[in-house]
């Protein structure tokens, strides 16, 4: 029998692997992030890895209406939205290395085979693919994530559902890691569904079958997190324990809650921290409760924001929703979102909202509706925040209706006067994956402007995901006409404002990608604050 390789690098590093059963969409990502937050609150350095079993290299070319938001990391990696939750919950900056896909793994193995790295061996799923997966996990676990520090505990979420053919090589790699690590160095957490029948009784059979499928792959869960509409009672926990050989105290109830940031607190109440610390043989330190205080802040105000959407699925705008929530918490203001279809909404739908937000997107569908909403916000002095495409269409709208260029448009949309043009480096690109302007860029903010006041500095770093920019040939005309560009990255326009408007701000970058409960995005703080003022002034009138 072949001897398993010894663990690489930091041998004191501990792993928490999270799998899911019964069905997709159970909340493995939020569970993983919540476990990380619980440990982070106890002073442990935590990192996270997301395994996506799809064959795509990354999420960049996926239809967001099918897969949800494409989140962008600091190094430009386009990844699954769960990595956004990891960053928001854990206050860390992840990189491409922290997202492992089947496409990445197979590409790496095939490249090694072509180079002759395997010395003529027949390349197979075991050991070559599983070895590559283990190497990717270990390498990501040791990557610096914050301030030059490396993690003590690595969370690994295995995407998909136990039993999926796509997930099997990854689960086999986990089994191999589990066998070679010391018992106290890896914990297996299995998230499963505990549904209720028509009488409201919670049923354990789906969990039993899910754990059985996991065991058939050589993995025995240490902890079961049961997702349900109501709390899982002691008797149901005992039944799950009896059929799965998981101790009763390690059967954790995770009922539905109205706000995802409540989940770590709910898992704390269930004793999950003690169970994990026992398994990992680490100290169950007294938790810092500051994060819980921030996410539990009481609301004293309420505003309604219209988001002009073209995709019709809220998960496409996950980071925007969360950034509004972060700003709302900081301002003790609940933000209610009114989703409006960019192709079908009526301007009367905007009359009673407190602010208008036009998010990013691709293609020409819905563009004219977004331009109508931007014009309404500008002419009616309604607080407005434009993001990426929203920034570009703000320029188009202004060129059409203020500068008098009726055919002003974006090169992405079609013929006309292109006040928005393709980035020069995008010319001739035919490969769509990973070729946009992506990731961090240092943005210079003009002193004395609204955006500089919001950031409290004249320099900031934000993340991008776009192919088009403000056409340099029109910048002078636009500024002479009153639209002021107040943020730049090199020669590129990044922020625009209207000085004679209560709050009119649009950014080429995506400020929502860096927002978190502990560090709300400045543009969102400004926007929600302006919505509060608008609502108060409307009441006064």
Task: Report how far residue 15's alpha carbon sits from residue 47's, in angstroms, rounded to the nearest whole number.
Answer: 10
* φ, ψ at 338 (rounded to 5°): -105, 110
* CA contacts within 13 A on the Cβ side of 20: 23
Selected catalytic residue, list 132, 268, 494, 512: 512
Task: Confirm if 229 and 255 have CB atoms less than 8 A apart.
Answer: yes
- Residues contacting 466, CB < 8 A, separation 6+: 360, 388, 389, 392, 423, 436, 437, 508
Within 10 Å of residue 319's Cβ, how many Cβ atoms?
A: 27
Task: Confirm if 222 and 189 have CB atoms less than 8 A apart.
Answer: yes
CA torsion, points 393, 358, 483, 520, in degrees to nearest 10?
-140
Within 10 Å of residue 148's Cβ, how many Cβ atoms?
A: 6
Of 195, 205, 201, 261, nearest in space to 228 by CA: 195
What SS3 class is residue 440? strand
Selected catalytic residue, list 136, 154, 277, 388: 388
Task: Confirm if 22 and 51 have CB atoms less than 8 A apart.
Answer: no
Selected catalytic residue, list 67, 466, 501, 510: 510
C-alpha angle with apex 247: 244 to 250, nearest 5 degrees? Answer: 100
In the chain, what is the straight-line distance between the N-terminal and C-terminal CA atoms, in Å?
Answer: 82
**512 catalytically annotated:** yes
DSSP secondary structure string for all residues of 146-168: BTTB--SEEEEEE-S-TT-GGGH
Residue indicated by tokens 């920034």: 391
Active-site residue numbers? Answer: 388, 510, 512
């Amino acid at each position: 029998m072949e001897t398993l390789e010894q663990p690489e690098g930091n041998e004191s590093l501990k792993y928490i692997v999270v799998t899911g059963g019964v069905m997709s969409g159970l909340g493995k990502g939020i569970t993983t992030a919540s476990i990380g937050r619980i440990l982070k609150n106890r002073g442990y350095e935590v990192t996270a890895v997301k395994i996506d079993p799809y064959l795509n290299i990354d999420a960049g070319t996926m239809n967001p209406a099918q897969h949800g938001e494409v989140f962008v990391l600091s190094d430009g990696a386009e990844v699954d939205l769960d990595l956004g939750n990891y960053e928001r919950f854990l206050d860390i900056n992840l990189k491409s290395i922290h997202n492992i896909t089947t496409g990445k793994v197979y590409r790496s193995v095939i490249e090694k085979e072509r180079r002759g790295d395997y010395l003529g061996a027949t390349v197979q799923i075991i050991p070559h693919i599983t070895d590559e997966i283990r190497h990717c996990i270990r390498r990501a676990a040791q990557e610096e994530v914050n301030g030059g520090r490396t993690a003590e505990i690595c969370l690994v979420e295995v995407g998909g559902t136990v039993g999926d053919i796509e997930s099997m090589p990854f689960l086999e790699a986990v089994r191999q890691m589990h066998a070679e690590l010391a018992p106290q160095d890896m914990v297996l957490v299995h998230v499963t569904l505990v549904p209720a029948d028509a009488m409201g009784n919670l049923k354990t059979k789906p969990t039993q079958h899910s754990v059985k499928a996991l065991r058939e792959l050589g993995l025995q869960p240490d902890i079961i997190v049961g997702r349900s509409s109501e709390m899982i009672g002691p008797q149901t926990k005992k039944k799950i324990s009896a059929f799965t050989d998981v101790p009763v105290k390690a059967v954790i109830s995770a009922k539905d809650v109205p706000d995802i940031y409540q989940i770590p607190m709910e898992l704390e109440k269930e004793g999950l921290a003690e169970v994990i610390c026992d398994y990992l043989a680490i100290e169950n330190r007294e938790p810092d409760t500051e994060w819980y205080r921030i996410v539990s802040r009481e609301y004293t105000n309420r505003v309604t924001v219209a988001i002009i959407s073209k995709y019709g699925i809220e998960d496409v705008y996950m980071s925007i929703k969360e950034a509004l929530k972060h700003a709302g918490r900081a301002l003790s203001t609940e933000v209610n979102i009114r989703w409006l279809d960019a192709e079908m909404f009526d301007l009367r739908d905007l009359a009673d909202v407190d602010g208008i937000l036009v998010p990013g997107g691709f293609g020409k569908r819905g563009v004219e509706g977004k331009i109508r909403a931007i014009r309404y916000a500008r002419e009616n002095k309604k607080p407005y925040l434009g993001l990426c495409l929203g920034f570009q269409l703000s320029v188009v709208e202004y060129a059409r209706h203020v500068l008098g260029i009726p055919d002003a448009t974006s090169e992405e949309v079609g013929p006309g006067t292109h006040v928005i043009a393709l980035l020069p480096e995008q010319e001739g690109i035919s490969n769509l994956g990973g070729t946009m302007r992506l990731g961090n860029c240092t943005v210079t903010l003009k002193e004395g402007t609204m955006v500089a006041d919001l950031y409290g500095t004249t320099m900031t770093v934000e993340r991008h995901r776009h192919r088009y920019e403000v056409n340099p040939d029109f910048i002078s005309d636009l500024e002479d006409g009153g639209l002021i560009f107040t943020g730049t990255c090199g020669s590129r326009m990044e922020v625009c404002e209207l000085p004679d408007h209560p709050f009119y701000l649009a950014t080429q970058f995506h400020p929502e990608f860096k927002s978190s409960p502990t560090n709300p995005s400045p543009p969102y703080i400004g926007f929600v604050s302006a919505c509060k003022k608008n609502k108060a002034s409307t009441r006064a009138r």
